Chain A
Amino acid sequence: MRTATKQPVSGGIGGWVGHMVDAAAEIPGNYRDLLAGKRGRTVLLTILGILVLTYPIIYNQFLAGFSRNVFPLPFPDETTMTFMLIFGIMAIGLNIVVGFAGLLDLGYVAFYALGAYTSAFFASPHFGSVSIVLFSNVASGFPGIHLPFWIILPLAVLVAATFGALLGAPTLRLRGDYLAIVTLGFGEIVPVFFKNLAAITFTFTIGGVTIISLQDVNLTGGPLGINPIDPFVLLGVGFGATSGVAAVYFAMALTIIGIVVARNLERSRMGRAWGAIREDETAAEMMGVNTVRTKLLAFALGASFAGVAGAFQASYLGATTSDFFQFSTSILVLIMVILGGIGNIWGVLAGAIVLVYIDKTLLIWLGQRIGSVAPSFPNPSQFNFLIFGILLVMMMRFRPEGFIPSRQRAAELSIHGLQEAEAAMGVDVETDNVGVAPPGQSEIGPDAREAEAPSEADDL
């Protein structure tokens, strides 16, 4: 037994915990250094990349069997993995709107729904009175419209982007919280339409002339939704819920495309314009940024990601109903963005992976474990949004910039981050801040600068 005075981290569990806490406290500095070094970064990313790419196979070959036969551990299974990536795509898309352009969108689920119903309309027997089969393994003459995914996905992008721009157009003048409420309203209205457009009966006549007459038109399948929906098929391999690992890799490919697109957008002229209107819309307009075009494109491009995610989700599950698309889903994606680090593509992707893991695997596993010991205890998976709600409140209070923040957003969202960013900018010339002055770099003194910081980032 050593004395505590000589070595504060002594043996035993307490000491070990203390040591881990100390180590954890040091992580931020260390990993920054490690990531800053080019070699360290390459090595880390390579290991991480290999791990991510091989995990589905490792799970399928070893971990699933271990969980089933030896001891149930909460490894994410194929469905969870696929949903991690579906939500990852959505988080990357919402990050364009909220993170890059700084427009709080609380109705993102609408575009998810639009994507899903695009799949449902164009790859299912729903419109059974016609038969259109295009490049599909569906037998010719089979009722309904059956298009392949490489037509569905662009279509979903088009539909979602169009509606994104439609939502964007009337909200251009709005800022801050009013914009948030309008987007929330849009997100609520779209599923209501999908739910109710099942038996449209509508007649409009003028002077005996029928202008329009609809009798019992079933457009969306009503509360029951549309079912079944064809899975995406490539080279004879289907990517439905039963195809396991294949669907995960398909989702992974979509996610990688999404990352590349978002990354390029961020570094483009448009990306810099988004940064500019996010930080000060009036100033950006003065500097020649076309705010109308910039905002509309942010909405449209952000929405198109959810369109892709929705189209894939519907074909993956093979069914869709309006109940999938609730306000809570919009908020779930928003939490992913906030938790991971607003503005940072890798951060929001990590946020999506962690939250879907908690939601779809960890809580269910915990529920089973607890249920086997104390069956009357409430199942934690029923209270997932209690946890997410607490997470949201805590994040806003203690770490609004998220766990893996973009340096720029960190600066806007907290005074602490501002100092950090300024320190970093003093030594690091290679920043992403091309053309965008960090907030607070005005000619007022350093003390006034700190006080000024929050109000400068008024619109998040």
Chain B
Amino acid sequence: MRMRPAMRGILALALFQVFGVIVFGAEQFFQTEVIGVSNGLIFALVALGYTLVYGIIELINFAHGDVFMLGSMLAFLLIGPIFAVTVDTPIVLKIGIVLLVLGVTMLGTAALNVSIERVAYKPLRNAPKLAPLISAIGMSFVLQNVGLLMAGPGNRSIDNIFGTSNILSAFGIEGVTINIQQVFVALVTIPLLIVLSWFVRTTRQGKAMRATAQDPDTAGLMGVDVNRTIAITFLIAGALAGAAGVVQILYNNTTVWNVGFRFGLNSFTAAVLGGIGNLQGAVLGALVLGFINAFSDRFFSANWTNALVFGILIAILVFRPTGLLGQQLADRA
């Protein structure tokens, strides 16, 4: 019997819950799932950047993880040294500052991403396909070193400005913790995902993006300003990476100059898992990767998580290069 994909997904998720509760015990399992969802939502913001850019110019934007890193560095500088927000800051002021930081960081990384596109990728639009990839790798090293110059080689930490209270204890649940950071992650990422989806599906510019992704030459002939569309794609990707940076620093309270590599790797794997170029796929892949990270860290060993993620990435690329939802671009890769 053939089922619709959504049904299959729900069934798989339900089976996973039953399996998880039996194997790991309910409290451990649900706690890990909470962490997995929080990780996954942050990955989703970064993964969307990879997938948007790949969808439109077929470039693995290697520097994207480092744009995210610079976003988290900027957020660290603003929240830590500049505004000196602590857990005792009045709640209204706290919300105001967080929103301001979010706006500033998103603007900053968006502008950065657009300039990277202009400097490193645009001149290579007609070069062999791997030239921009190599250029992106170079750019990634440049950005990492900018981060190193900005913040030095060590970890940079801020106070946990949300405190450590458990939301669920209000409902009388004590075994599983959902703290305010995790709620904050959802409060920032989910609206952004909805806005992006709305933008790409309904606006004129979103239509231009989809047209360019299908065929830049034809889109150009139909009156789409291809260069502008590509720049806007990088702008959106950069803004999302900046948001992810802010969320990351407020969730983990720490950042470091090479954090972009690990996050970039996970997010790129997520994008590939979902079917690169596919927006819903990227979010789905990111949630799966968030789960895999959380479960591997908790029940296996954090030392092996990176190897596991890379193993998954290789397996997908080799055996199912279109990913989970990647029917849309069967002729790519």
Contacts and interface: CB of A to CB of B under 8 A. Distances in A.
Contacts of A242: none
Nearest to B313: A185
Contacts, number: 136
Given A385-B141, A389-B138, A180 B130 contact: yes
A454 B124 CA distance: 10
Contacts of A185: 310-311, 313-314
B134 to A, nearest CB: 5
Nearest to B126: A454
Given A177-B133, A383-B149, A385-B144, A170 B128 contact: no
A100 to B, nearest CB: 15
A392 B60 CA distance: 16
Contacts of A175: 333
Q: How large is the interface on A (under 10, 10 to 19, 20 to 34, 35 or more residues)?
A: 35 or more
Interface in B133-185: 133-135, 137-142, 144-146, 148-149
B119 A458 contact: no
Contacts of A386: 141-142, 145-146, 149
Interface string A228-271: 00000000000000000000000000000000000000000000
Given A171-B318, A176-B130, A196 B313 contact: no
B127 interface: yes
A391 interface: yes
B295 interface: no
Q: How large is the interface on B (under 10, 10 to 19, 20 to 34, 35 or more residues)?
A: 35 or more
A267 B50 CA distance: 41
A188 B304 CA distance: 11
A123 interface: no
A392 B135 CA distance: 6
B310 A189 contact: yes
Contacts of B77: none
Given A192-B304, A378-B149, A383-B148, A388 B138 contact: yes
11 contacts: A175-B333, A177-B130, A178-B333, A193-B307, A196-B301, A383-B148, A389-B137, A390-B142, A391-B138, A393-B120, A454-B126
Interface of A: 104, 106, 170-171, 173-178, 180-182, 185-186, 188-189, 192-193, 195-196, 327-328, 331, 334, 338, 378, 382-383, 385-386, 388-393, 396-397, 400, 412-413, 454, 457-460
Given A189-B311, A196-B304, 8 more contacts: A383-B149, A385-B145, A389-B139, A389-B145, A392-B135, A397-B124, A413-B127, A454-B128
